[in-house]
Amino acid sequence: MTPRVDPGEAGFHAGRLARVDAFVESEVAAGRLPGAVLGVVRGGALVRLDAFGMRDPQAGAPMTTDTLFWLASMTKPVTAAGALLLVESGELVLEEAVGDYLPGFRDRRVADPESLRERPAARQPTVLDLMRHTAGIPEGLLGRTALHARYAEAVGDGMTGLDGPEFVARLAAFPLLADPGTLWHYGFGFDLLGQIVESLTSDTLGAFLARRLFAPLGMTDTRFVGGSGADPGRLAVPLTRDPLAGHPLTGESQQLPDLARARFDSGGAGLVGTAGDYLAFLRMLLAKGAGPTGDADRVLGRKTVELMLADALEPGTDTRLLERPGWNPGHGFGLGVAVRRAAGGGATTPGSAGEVTWPGSSGTFWWADPAEDLGVVFLTHTPSRLQLRYWQQMKSLVLQALK
């Protein structure tokens, strides 16, 4: 990571940016937040990388900037970037059918979600559909239809003891929820994308990303969970009880999944990493693929990154499940990232058109704003609905400090 610059040099009012510290420290003191790490880059320079509170409140271990967090769905943009490396080498074609790479997904059919009556799909799901959540392959826990229940029974939330081929076979056994390209629905597309990467490289997804993405960017602490990958001595620990006063979940226990159960590198939710590492990834996106020293160690091509960060949804795509109240009204979806369409448009936080993000269910959060050349990472383990409030509050706190 580059040396830190003074906030004023990076276009921030230092006093206004200090409001972030006061807010986070008050949340820790009130027992609502165990601890967190905040990282900010602007113009390619490091503005903030600071730890707050406790890494493990029960053990009394303080938070440090090299603390590991389960990145959960923040894995998806990283997997997307890895797949685009193969697009750039001609090994992967976004328009080709998933079944061309994973034979079990040939000849997909669509089922009525309640009657389960099947019909031929209008077209086959493509690699692009996997990357923008329009393949018709849902996460079963995010719906209450009979078809959702079948997916849920087969793979749950995806954190299973299945190996990669077993996971693929489970998903391939069920029909699609909708014709590809017509409905945005969060699902397991990036787990399948990771398996496609493995089939093309004859390597694990983790080994491929380590060689082609993590090493060039200096992301030395980013790895897939499973076995000792989570490094319990460095992993942040959530509070034992949900602290959100007045919420139905109040008082219920909260904990991370058993990360050691993972038997394959989940391209959708399998990474653990640090704030500093993820900032390096954001710097690459904001630099349109350039590496830490610029073009000399470029990771992705400029036009490839522009494609990744652009809204990839076709006109008429049903986005009701994407543009839900809270953090993402007025968003489309690119390749692994939600894309803000306008400064307003029903948005509940300040921001710019073209801003991209995708958080993790563990409480981890980030956004990158190409118009402001700004990247922010806020990592904490708050696996409750309290995290939705923090996503909005942190955005407001950081952006109000811009000159």
Confidence check: pLDDT of 56 > 80: yes
pLDDT at 345: 80
Strand extents, DSSP E, 129-270 = 223-224
CATH homologous superfamily for the domain 7-78+202-399:
DD-peptidase/beta-lactamase superfamily (3.40.710.10)
pLDDT at 198: 98
H-type alpha helices, 160-259: 164-172, 189-201, 205-209, 215-217
Q: What are the DSSP calls for 115-129, one per residue? A: T--EEE-SS--BHHH
Entry field: residues in the chain: 403
Cβ atoms of 375 and 367 within 8 Å: the answer is yes
pTM, entire model: 0.96
pLDDT at 355: 97
pLDDT at 388: 85
What does the alpha-carbon distance between residue 29 and residue 263 come to, in Å, rounded to a whole number? 38
Strand partners, 291: 294
What does the alpha-carbon distance between residue 208 and residue 72 come to, in Å, rounded to a whole number? 19
What does the alpha-carbon distance between residue 152 and residue 362 come to, in Å, rounded to a whole number? 20
Measured in degrees and rounded to the nearest 5, phi and psi for residue 377 equal -125, 130
84-134: pLDDT as tens digits? 999 999 999 999 999 999 999 999 999 999 999 999 999 999 999 999 999
Which residue is it, tokens 């809204």? 311
Amino acid at 364: T
Cβ atoms of 167 and 191 within 8 Å: the answer is yes
pLDDT at 258: 84
User: What average pLDDT does the segment 336-349 reach?
Assistant: 91
What does the alpha-carbon distance between residue 32 and residue 26 come to, in Å, rounded to a whole number? 9
Q: Please name which of 146, 130, 148 lies closest in space to residue 138, comparing C-alpha atoms.
A: 148
Neighbouring C-beta atoms of residue 189, cutoff 10 Å: 30
**Residues identified as active-site:** 73
Cβ atoms of 349 and 254 within 8 Å: the answer is no
What does the alpha-carbon distance between residue 38 and residue 69 come to, in Å, rounded to a whole number? 12
128-167: pLDDT as tens digits? 999 999 999 999 999 999 999 999 999 998 888 899 999 9
Cβ atoms of 243 and 74 within 8 Å: the answer is no
User: What average pLDDT does the segment 50-59 reach?
Assistant: 96
pLDDT at 230: 60
- Pairwise pLDDT comparison (365 vs 248), residue with the higher score: 365
Query: H helices then E strands: how many in the chain?
Result: 11, 13
Domain limits, CATH 3.40.710.10, in the chain: 7-78+202-399
Give whole-number Cα distances, 2 to 57, 292, 384, in Å. 30, 8, 34
Cβ atoms of 257 and 157 within 8 Å: the answer is yes
327-339: pLDDT as tens digits? 678 899 999 999 9
Q: Chain centroid to CA 401: how far? A: 25
